[in-house]
Structure 1
Amino acid sequence: MRILFVEDNDGFASDLEPALRAIFGVGEIQRVADKESAAAALANDLIDLVILDLSIPPSKHSDAPDPEHGQALFHEARKLRPGTPIFILTGAEVEKFSRGLAKFGNQVRLWGDGTEVETVSFFLKEEVDELLSRVRALAEIYANMSAVAINTRGKDLGLSPVQEQMLKTFARMADGVACDVSLLSGGLSDAKVVKTTAMDRGRKPQVLCAGKLGPSEVIASEQAAYEKHARKLGIGACPTVYCAIDMGVGQNGAIFYTLTDDDTKSLFERLAADPGIGEVVVGRVRAGLQRWTEAATVDFARIADIRRRLVDDDDAAAIEAKFGIAALRKIEEKAVQASQSCIHGDLHCGNVLVKSDGDAVLIDFGDVGPGYTALDPTALELSLVFHPDAAKFGLRDNLMGNLEAWPDVEGFVRDDRLKPMITACREWAHDVAGGDQSVLASAYAYALRQLKYDTVDPAVTVAFVAKLAERLAAS
């Protein structure tokens, strides 16, 4: 357990710090004496407990302690480290403003333990024994979580320390002592998508989940979109939420979805082993999203509006400046007839999980919401070219050199092994788009977005964007 100890009294700190270090489960203790240094530690370091003397100086260059600096740091800690316990030290009876801080406290469950922990506690400096007792209780909970083994089968998954902590917390919530982890999708965002199983002492699986680990705002958006939109889909279209972790992990979070088949893999991985499965999976994904599609309405929309669903104006302007495509972007002024409905918004093959029987479920709902209906099938198809996992599994090799022929599906796929899947995606797109121009505009928006990333030669992508703009102008 990592403790941030904020105390400007060297004598008191030198007495308390050794006692803290002697507690089993306490690891690093970072002692600072001022608000500025403490705020930097909260922003940049992993912190599991804050012990805070309210009367501290504003910076290391000041020797004028004042309770207002500790109070300001308290609020900053609450913002940067939601759910992290804060033990407040005071040298006198709790003052009025200190009592006011108590209203910000609540009780949370941390690190997968069922015990509720106070997030704000007050201790007089002469109550050191009581403080140490509380630290011991917290350290024991933390140590139980920390003892969970991570099993990646020796593979480097690029997990950060806080991501490992969230996985261990997940395993503890499921009464596990180990956590088997593999990547489901590399992705292009800051989030990581994994398949994880909590194992008990007998190496028996307790729960199998797909987990999304990422910045707290990404996970919060995912949760909100799932509750508002994804739950309205038919049974089986998306997995149920097992748990979410958003306390005690700083500006990070995780959400875990229950899976029912240990052999669940991403569609990318399934296609690498059996390209013929793609057509069936596309049909099942399409059926799963039918409830959204059935509510679609058709109206005219500018191509800029369709692009804006995937790439905001600032990013589009930066892409335009970087690649000198101002002339191509003039096509965005054109209006096309387009179907609008709720869409997934990021429907690449990594977000389609396929069970051993070929059944499919969707994950990653952070971009779910109103949009243009053709974007989902178009993104699913084009992820076979642009997503890094398409390269990883050798799926795009025959498609890259023929990308400019994309508007003509027969000319694009030729005899490629993925032809059945690509054809199914294209038929789906045309069935729901509202018109051919809407499909072209969806591909334009998706391709423009790829210029934000470095997964495909930009010259190839720019040529593709140019071809789509040409076809849109001619139609």
Structure 2
Amino acid sequence: MKILFVEDNDGFARDLEPVLREIQGVEEIVRVADKESAVVALRDKMVDLVILDLSIPPSKESDMPDPEHGQALFHEARELRPGTPIFILTGAEVQKFSRGLARFGNQVRLWGDSTEIETVSFFPKEEVNDLLTRVGALAAIFSKMNAVAINTRGRNLGLSPVQDQMLKTFANMADGVACDVSLLSGGLSDAKVVKAAAMDRSRKAQVLCAGKLGPSPVILSERMAYEKHARKLGIGACPPLYCAIDMGVGLQGAIFYTLTDDDTLSLFERLAADPTIGPAVVGRVRGGLQRWTEASTADFVTIAEIRRRLIDDDDALAIEAKFDIGVLRRIEARSVQASQSCIHGDLHCGNVLVKSDGDAVLIDFGDAGPGFTSLDPIALELSLVFHPDAAKFGLRDSLMANINAWPDVDAFVGGTPLKSTVAACRNWAHDVGGGDQSVLASAYAYALRQLKYETVDPKITLAFVTKLSERIAAS
């Protein structure tokens, strides 16, 4: 357990710090004496407990301690480290402002343990033994979680220390002593999508999940969209929510969905092994989203409105300036008939998990919400060209050669092994999209967004955007 100890009294700190270090489970103590240094530590370091003397100076350059600086730090600590316990050291009397801080406290479960922990506690300095007892209790809970072994089979998955901790927390919550982890999707965001199994002492899985780990706003958006939109889908379309981790991990978070088959892989991996499964999987995905699709309505909208569902105006303008494509973007003023409904919003093949029996479930609902119905099947198809995992699993090349023939699906796929998969996606898009132009506009929006990431040679993507723009203008 790592402790941030904020205390400007050197004598008191010299007495207390060695005793804290002797507590079993305390790994590191970062001692600072001022508010400014404490904020830096909260932002840059892993912190599992804050011990805070309220009367501190504002910076290293100041020797004027004041309780207002400690109080301001208290609020910043709550913002930067939600759920992290804060032990407040007070003088002989609990002053009025200290009592006022108590209203911010609550009880949370941390590190996968069932014990409820106070997030705000007060300790008079003359009763420091009570503080040491509480630190010891917290360290014991933390140590149990931290003892969970991470098993990646020797692969470097690029997990950060806080992501390791969230995986250990997940396994500890399921009474596991180890967490077997593999990547499900590389993705283009700061988040990682993993398959995680909590293993008991007999190496039996207690729970198997797909987990998304990333910045807390991303995870919060995912959870809210899941609760609001994904739960309305039919049984089996998406896995049930197992747990979310959003306390004690700074500005990071994780969400885990229960899987039922250990041999669950992304559609990218399944297609790489057997391209013939594609049409059946696409059909299952389409069926899973049917409740959303059935509620669709068609109306005339501008191509700019379709594009905005994937990339906002500021990013589009930045791309326009970078690649000098102002002429191409004139088509965005055109109106087309397009069906609108709730959509997944990021339906690439990495977000389609396929079980060993060919059944499929969807994950990663952070972008779910109102949108244009043809965007999902078009994103699923074009992820076979533009997503990094398409290159990783050797799916991209057969389609890349004919990308400029994309509007004519037969010319695009030729004799590639993915012909039937592409056809299933394209038929789905035309069945639900509202017309040929809405499908072209969806592809244009998707391709324009790829210039933001440049996962494919920008010259190829620009040529594709140009072809789509010309086809729309000629329609």
**What amino acid is the match of 2:299?**
D
Question: Residue in 2 aligned with 1:146?
Answer: 146
Identity of aligned residues (%): 80
Question: Residue in 2 aligned with 1:341?
Answer: 341
Question: Residue in 1 aligned with 2:303?
Answer: 303
String of CA shifts for 1:159-201, please: whole Å, max 9, x gaps: 0000000000000000000000000000000100000000001
Q: TM-score, normalised by structure 1?
A: 1.00
Q: Report the Cα distance in structure 2 between the residues aligned to 1:433 and 1:455, rounded to whole angstroms.
A: 26
Shift of 1:45: 1.2
**What amino acid is the match of 1:48?**
D
Q: Report the Cα distance in structure 2 between the residues aligned to 1:325 and 1:12, rounded to whole angstroms.
A: 65
Is 1:56 the counterpart of 2:53? The answer is: no
Question: Residue in 1 aligned with 2:19?
Answer: 19
Is 1:457 the counterpart of 2:421? The answer is: no
Aligned length: 475
String of CA shifts for 1:10-45, please: whole Å, max 9, x gaps: 000000000011111111111000001101111121
String of CA shifts for 1:82-116, please: whole Å, max 9, x gaps: 00000000112111110000000000000011100
Q: Report the Cα distance in structure 2 between the residues aligned to 1:102 and 1:373, rounded to whole angstroms.
A: 49
Q: Report the Cα distance in structure 1 between the residues aligned to 2:171 and 2:298, rounded to whole angstroms.
A: 46
Q: Report the Cα distance in structure 2 between the residues aligned to 1:336 and 1:323, rounded to whole angstroms.
A: 26
1:111-260 → structure 2 map (5 Å cutoff)? 111-260=111-260
String of CA shifts for 1:279-310, please: whole Å, max 9, x gaps: 00000000000000000000011111100000
Q: Report the Cα distance in structure 2 between the residues aligned to 1:30 and 1:242, rounded to whole angstroms.
A: 34
Shift of 1:349: 0.1
Shift of 1:454: 2.9
Shift of 1:61: 0.3
Shift of 1:452: 1.0
**What amino acid is the match of 1:92?**
A
SS of residue matched to 2:361? strand
Q: Report the Cα distance in structure 2 between the residues aligned to 1:190 and 1:454, rounded to whole angstroms.
A: 16
SS of residue matched to 2:47? coil
**What amino acid is the match of 1:111?**
W
**What amino acid is the match of 2:425?**
C
Residues 296 and 341, structure 2, Cα contact 8 Å, conserved in 1: yes
Shift of 1:351: 0.1
Shift of 1:128: 1.0
Residues 348 and 383, structure 2, Cα contact 8 Å, conserved in 1: yes
Q: Report the Cα distance in structure 2 between the residues aligned to 1:133 and 1:404, rounded to whole angstroms.
A: 69
Instruction: Say which is worse superposed, 169-178 or 39-48, in terms of deviation.
Output: 39-48
Q: Report the Cα distance in structure 1 between the residues aligned to 2:328 and 2:32, rounded to whole angstroms.
A: 55
SS of residue matched to 1:195? strand
Residues 378 and 426, structure 2, Cα contact 8 Å, conserved in 1: yes
Q: Report the Cα distance in structure 1 between the residues aligned to 2:93 and 2:276, rounded to whole angstroms.
A: 73
Question: Residue in 2 aligned with 1:322?
Answer: 322
Q: Report the Cα distance in structure 2 between the residues aligned to 1:279 and 1:68, rounded to whole angstroms.
A: 64
Q: Report the Cα distance in structure 2 between the residues aligned to 1:157 and 1:331, rounded to whole angstroms.
A: 42
Residues 212 and 255, structure 2, Cα contact 8 Å, conserved in 1: yes
Question: Residue in 1 aligned with 2:74?
Answer: 74
**What amino acid is the match of 1:117?**
I
Q: Report the Cα distance in structure 2 between the residues aligned to 1:312 and 1:44, rounded to whole angstroms.
A: 31
String of CA shifts for 1:339-391, please: whole Å, max 9, x gaps: 00000000000000000000000000000000000000000000000000000
Q: Report the Cα distance in structure 1 between the residues aligned to 2:358 and 2:451, rounded to whole angstroms.
A: 33
Q: Report the Cα distance in structure 1 between the residues aligned to 2:301 and 2:250, rounded to whole angstroms.
A: 41
Shift of 1:425: 0.2
String of CA shifts for 1:133-178, please: whole Å, max 9, x gaps: 0000000111111100000000000000000000000000000000
**What amino acid is the match of 1:5?**
F
Shift of 1:468: 0.4
Question: Residue in 1 aligned with 2:401?
Answer: 401
Q: Report the Cα distance in structure 2 between the residues aligned to 1:252 and 1:305, rounded to whole angstroms.
A: 32
Residues 92 and 126, structure 2, Cα contact 8 Å, conserved in 1: no
Question: Residue in 2 aligned with 1:438?
Answer: 438
Shift of 1:51: 0.3
String of CA shifts for 1:189-220, please: whole Å, max 9, x gaps: 01000000000011111000000000000000
Residues 42 and 81, structure 2, Cα contact 8 Å, conserved in 1: yes
**What amino acid is the match of 2:307?**
R
SS of residue matched to 1:276? helix
String of CA shifts for 1:426-467, please: whole Å, max 9, x gaps: 000000000000000000000011111131000100110000
Q: Report the Cα distance in structure 2 between the residues aligned to 1:321 and 1:19, rounded to whole angstroms.
A: 60
Q: Report the Cα distance in structure 2 between the residues aligned to 1:277 and 1:126, rounded to whole angstroms.
A: 70
SS of residue matched to 1:304? helix
| RMSD over equivalenced CA pairs, Å | 0.5
**What amino acid is the match of 1:39?**
V
Question: Residue in 2 aligned with 1:294?
Answer: 294
Which structure 2 segments of 5+ residues have no match? none
**What amino acid is the match of 1:227?**
E
Instruction: Say which is worse superposed, 264-273 or 447-456, in terms of deviation.
Output: 447-456
Q: Report the Cα distance in structure 2 between the residues aligned to 1:15 and 1:321, rounded to whole angstroms.
A: 61
Residues 239 and 362, structure 2, Cα contact 8 Å, conserved in 1: yes
Q: Report the Cα distance in structure 2 between the residues aligned to 1:320 and 1:45, rounded to whole angstroms.
A: 39
**What amino acid is the match of 2:107?**
Q
**What amino acid is the match of 2:276?**
G
Question: Residue in 1 aligned with 2:265?
Answer: 265
SS of residue matched to 2:126? coil
Instruction: Say which is worse superposed, 360-369 or 20-29, in terms of deviation.
Output: 20-29
Q: Report the Cα distance in structure 1 between the residues aligned to 2:315 and 2:54, rounded to whole angstroms.
A: 43
Which structure 1 segments of 5+ residues have no match? none
Q: Report the Cα distance in structure 1 between the residues aligned to 2:109 and 2:134, rounded to whole angstroms.
A: 15
Runs of 4+ in 1 over 6 A off after TM superposition: none
**What amino acid is the match of 2:374?**
A
String of CA shifts for 1:409-439, please: whole Å, max 9, x gaps: 0000000000000000000000000000000
Q: Report the Cα distance in structure 2 between the residues aligned to 1:307 and 1:178, rounded to whole angstroms.
A: 44
Question: Residue in 2 aligned with 1:285?
Answer: 285
**What amino acid is the match of 2:106?**
N
Q: Report the Cα distance in structure 1 between the residues aligned to 2:135 and 2:370, rounded to whole angstroms.
A: 48
**What amino acid is the match of 2:224?**
A
Shift of 1:398: 1.2
